[in-house]
A and B are shown apart, each in its own frame.
Chain A
Amino acid sequence: MTTETQIDNYLTALRLHLGPLTIAEREEIIREITAHIRDSAEESGASIEAVLARLGPAEELAKQYREGLLIRQASRSLSPLVLLRATLRLATKGLSGIVVFFLAIFGYLMGGGLVLTGLLKPIFPANTGVWFNGDQLVSSGTLFPAPAPPAHEILGIWYIPIALMLGSLTLLLTTFLIRRSLRISQQLQSKL
């Protein structure tokens, strides 16, 4: 294998594992690592194998880049999966991180649950709703079996828009709260 092929192979592997980053970020990293490989080989007269070995496996290097950028990128994301992964990372950093993590899970479950029952109402109209007995809340959601009389359902078809709206609002608020916490944690990190 020629020197150039070895370098190319390393950079190809690095580029591949840097997947989630933006193209601009990725190419800047590739450019910097290329410069490092050339300078390091020239300076020490070492073989490319030795230079690449000191740099560590491309996969490992890419992983370190990705971890450093995870929280920063997540604070701009809307995806529950990305956000939850970042809050999980935050939870390893301290008590307030753990609180944010559990609030995030609670918010997603609550909001998702409301939206889901709103969608289930047309399919199971008798089993979905909010039940009261006198002025006491008995239960709400999609229930099998539905609460027995004297408990009665009070919203009827209105359950659909109300559940969908409350659910979406909860999901939005949760997303907002997580992104806000991720930003604050970044600012704290660079201030401390």
Chain B
Amino acid sequence: MAIQRALPAEGNQPDRWEAQLRKGAVEMAALASLWQGRLYGLEIIRFLESQSQLALAEGTIYPILNRLKAEGLLTSEWVEAEAGHPRKYYSLTNAGRQRLRQMAEAWVSFSGGLSRLLEPVLEPQEKTQ
């Protein structure tokens, strides 16, 4: 992968670098999955799998939801379901919506800048020789 070659300092641990990158994005992705309305944990996991390449150990998402709730960005409610057991639904609070907008803006400008920076790196190899 070209991105890994661009970071020789992490060269011997490319998987770890990618894992860190994913981890940093999960929080924002979890908030974003709730933009349209409330979901419960497993729905959030499936939504992230289908919408992005953020495949994670499924357990990872629950502690993150717990922390986002403690920070006041999410609220939760238990809802009885046909399945026979209640499910814990999460939704964004006003503070959560605001924070997500800020994160999204920061992310877009940051990744736009980085993409330009990485353009030469991703060019076909023959040119650079």
Partner pick for A56 among B59, B64, B66, CB 8 A cutoff: B59
User: With a CB–CB cut-off of 8 A, which chain B residues contact A32?
Assistant: 41, 62, 88
Residue of A nearest to B99 (CB): A190
A65: min CB distance to chain B, Å: 5
Instruction: Choose, from B5-13, B14-22, B79-87, B112-120, the stretch at the interface.
Output: B79-87
* Distance of A186 Cα from B95 Cα, bound (Å): 14
Q: Are B95 and A190 in contact (CB under 8 A)?
A: yes
Which single residue of chain B is at the shortest CB-CB distance from A51? B58
Given A35-B88, A40-B42: A61 touches B59 (CB 8 Å cut-off): yes
A91 and B83 alpha carbons, distance in the complex (Å) = 45
Q: List the count of A-B residue pairs having beta carbons below 8 Å apart.
A: 71
Question: Which residues from chain A contact B99 at a C-beta distance below 8 Å?
Answer: 190-192
Chain B residues with CB under 8 A of A61: 59, 62-63
**Residues of chain B contacted by A60 (CB below 8 angstroms):** 59
Q: Does residue A42 face the partner (Cβ distance < 8 Å to B)?
A: yes
Q: Once the chains bind, are B70 and A54 in contact (CB under 8 Å)? A: no
B95 touching A39, Cβ below 8 Å: no
In the complex, which residue of chain A has the Cβ closest to the Cβ of B43? A39
B interface secondary structure, majority: helix
Chain B nearest CB: distance from A71 CB in Å? 10
Q: Are B66 and A39 in contact, CB atoms less than 8 angstroms apart?
A: no
A–B Cβ pairs within 8 angstroms, 16 of them: A29-B66, A33-B62, A35-B41, A36-B58, A39-B87, A40-B58, A42-B83, A43-B42, A54-B58, A54-B59, A55-B58, A56-B57, A68-B64, A68-B66, A68-B70, A191-B99
- Complex Cα–Cα for A55 and B71 (A): 24
Interface residue tally for chain A (C-beta within 8 Å): 29
Give B55-111 interface residues, CB cut-off 8 Å to A: 57-60, 62-64, 66-67, 70-73, 78, 83, 85-88, 95, 99, 102
List residues of chain B with CB within 8 A of the CB of A54.
57-59
A42-82, CB < 8 A from B? 42-43, 54-56, 60-61, 64-65, 67-69, 72
Q: How many whole Å from B44's CB to the nearest CB in chain A?
A: 11
> What residues of A have a CB within 8 angstroms of the CB of B66 in the complex?
29, 65, 68-69
Return the 10 tightest CB-CB contacts between A and B, nearest first. A68-B67, A64-B63, A56-B59, A190-B71, A61-B59, A56-B57, A55-B59, A65-B63, A54-B58, A32-B88
Question: Cβ of A3 < 8 Å from any Cβ of B?
Answer: no
With the chains together, A72 CA to B63 CA distance in Å? 14
